[in-house]
Structure 1
Amino acid sequence: MSKTIVLKQRPDGTPKNNDFEIINENQPSIKSGEILLKAKYVSVDPYLRGRMRDEESYIEPFKINKPIASTVVAEVVESKNEKYKEGDFLTGMLDWKEYQVHTGDNLRNVDGDSISLSAYLGVLGLTGLTAYFGLNRIGEPKKGETLLVSGAAGAVGSIVGQIGKIKGLRVIGIAGSDEKVSLLTDQLGFDAAINYNTTDDMAAAIKEYAPDGVDIYFDNVGSYTLDAAMKNINRFGRVINCGAISLYNETEQPTGPRLETTLVKKSVKMQGFIVRNFEEDFPEGVQQLSKWLKEGKLKHEETIVEGFDSIPQAFIDLFDGKNKGKMVVKIY
C-alpha cells in the first residue's frame, strides 16, 4: 500500500488537520519509460497556502480531493527508464505520496554523499535560490549598506541574512522568540536581531539597531512589520517583497498605511517576485550557494519532522513559527 495526502476542503483562515485527508492506495506499477519513486524528504512551504485558495495566481490552485504537491527528494526504487537506475535520488515538484510513478521529466539528480539530501529542499533548493536571487537581483546590495530581514529565522530569511554578511552588509533580523534571536546573532552571524513578540514599537526598535536607516528590506512577513520598515527606509532604498506570511490566513482584505508618499519622496524601489522568474539562471545560483556551503560561509538551519502522516501538521506549524530554518518532513 501507499499513502497519499489530498486537499479535502479549502481552509477557512488558518489551515487545520481536517482540511487534509490521508488515503491508502495500491502501490503503483510502472511501464516502459517510467520510474517508481519513494519519497524521502518533503518540503512544506508557506506559499502552499495560496494554492489552497480557489483563485487565480502565478500557479494553479490545488484541486479538492486531489494530491497536494511540493518539492520532494525521492529515491528511485524501480526503473524502466534508461536515464535512471535504482538507488538514484531525484528532486523536483512531486505529489505528497509515499510512492509514485514518474517519467523523470523536470526532475534533477542529487547527491547525498557530500551533503544531506534535505539540503536540496533548503539551501540548495528553491529556498536558497529565492534568497540568492531576491537579494542580489532586486536588492542590489553594496558593501557597507544595512539589510533588514523579516522572518529572519525562517527558511529564506536565514539564508538571506548570511548572504548579506558575505556581501559585506550590516544585517538585522526580525524573528519571533529569544531563542531565534540568539540563533541569528550567535550562529548565523547577524549583527543584531529583534524579537517582535516582545517589542511594542517595531519602528523604534529598527531605528535603534539601524540608526542610519535601512537600505534594503527583505520582507517575508508583510503587514505591520512592512509598515515599520518603511518608516526607516533610506533614500534609494530597495524593498524586496518575497512573502507576507502574516496575511496568508486572513479571510478579508486587510488595509494599512499608504506607502506611496514614502516611495516617491525617498525614491524607493519596491518589487515582488517569485523565484521562477530567474529559472534560466538557477545553475548559477546553485553553483554559488554550493561553493559558499563547502567553504563554510553558509550554514543551513533545518527543522526536521519525521513521518509521512506528519506532513499536514508540519505545514500548519509554519504559521505558528515553530520552525527554525527550513521545515522538512523526513519519510521513513
Structure 2
Amino acid sequence: FWLYLGEGLVLPLASALVMALTAFALNMSYGYFVESRSKRELAHLFGTYVPPELVDEMVKDPDSYSMKATSKELTVMFCDMRGFTKMSEKMEPTQLQALLNGVFSRLTDLIRANRGTIDKYMGDCVMAFWGAPVETPEHARLAVKTALEMATTVRKINEEHRAKGIPEIGVGVGLNTGPMCVGDMGSDIRRSYTVIGDAVNLGSRLEGLSKVYGVDIVVSESTRKLVPEFGWQELDRVRVKGKEQSVGIYWPMAPVDRLEKAQNDELKAWATFLKAYRAQDWDQCDLMMLNLQRMNAKKYLYELYSERVASMRLLPFDPEWDGATNFETK
C-alpha cells in the first residue's frame, strides 16, 4: 500500500493470493487424505477381529492403536462345541460345514455384541478375549455375560435340532483373567492379532475341565473376583499340568439379584460341604451330600464328589493335602 502511494508500484496480488489459497487447499487435502488412509488402514487391520462399534471408536484416534505387542490384563475365553465329531460320521461334509458355520455365527455375534475380540477359530473351538485393542475396564464382566448368553443360545439351538431330528450339541467354556501379551504375531507369511501367556494357557485348561465337572462354564478365581454381581458355585481347587500353585474354579449360576432362595440355600450347603471335604471330615461330607442331592438330585457335580468321598475315605488322613485336585493331562 505504501509502495503504491509513494512510488506508484502495483504488485501482482492476485497471483500471490491464488498461490496462498492453493497451498492451503493442498495442505488441507493432504491432511484429509493421510488421515482417511490412516483410518482405512486401521479398519482393515482390526475389522476382522473386533466389532464395528469398536472400530468406529478406534478410527476417532487411530494413532492410539497399533499391532505392536504389549502386556495387559485381559480376559480370555475358549469355547468348544461338542458333538460335532459324532455328527461328522453321519453327515455330509457340506451339511456339517453349514451347521458348524451357523453355530459359530450365532456365538460370534454374542462375542461382538459384548465388545469382545475374536482371536481365532480352531476346528470346533472359538477363542476370544476382552480388553484389547480398545481399553475395556469391565472386560471380565462382559466375558462372563457372554459365556452365559452362549450357554442359553446353545440350549435354543438344541431345541431347533430336536425339532429337525438333528443331534444335539454341547458347549464348554473356559474363562481366565490375567496379564497377557497381546499384539500382531506370526510369521512373515501369516500373522494375526492374538494373545499369549500363562494366563491364556490356563483359560484353555479350564475349558477342558468343564467336562470333568459336568458344567458348561468354568471360570478362574481371578475372573470371579472381578465380577461380584454374579452368584458363584465353587467347583474345586485344581492344579493343572505344568503349574505348582492351585487355583480356584467356579461356575456362574446367575446374577445375584436373580438367584432364588433355593439356589442360595444350595450354595450355603455346598460351601459347608467343601469345608468338610478339605478338612477330610468324610462323615460330615456324607451328611451334607444327602442334603445337596435332595436339593438337586440331577447335578453331576454332586455325583462326582460322592464318588471322591467314597474313595478318599479308604485312605489315611493326609496332613499335607491342601484340598486341591491335580490334573496331569492338558
More strand by share: 1
The structure with the larger Rg is: 2
TM-score tier by shorter-chain length is under 0.3
TM-score calculated relative to the size of structure 1: 0.23
**Which one has more relative contact order, counting CA pairs under 8 Å at least 6 apart?**
1
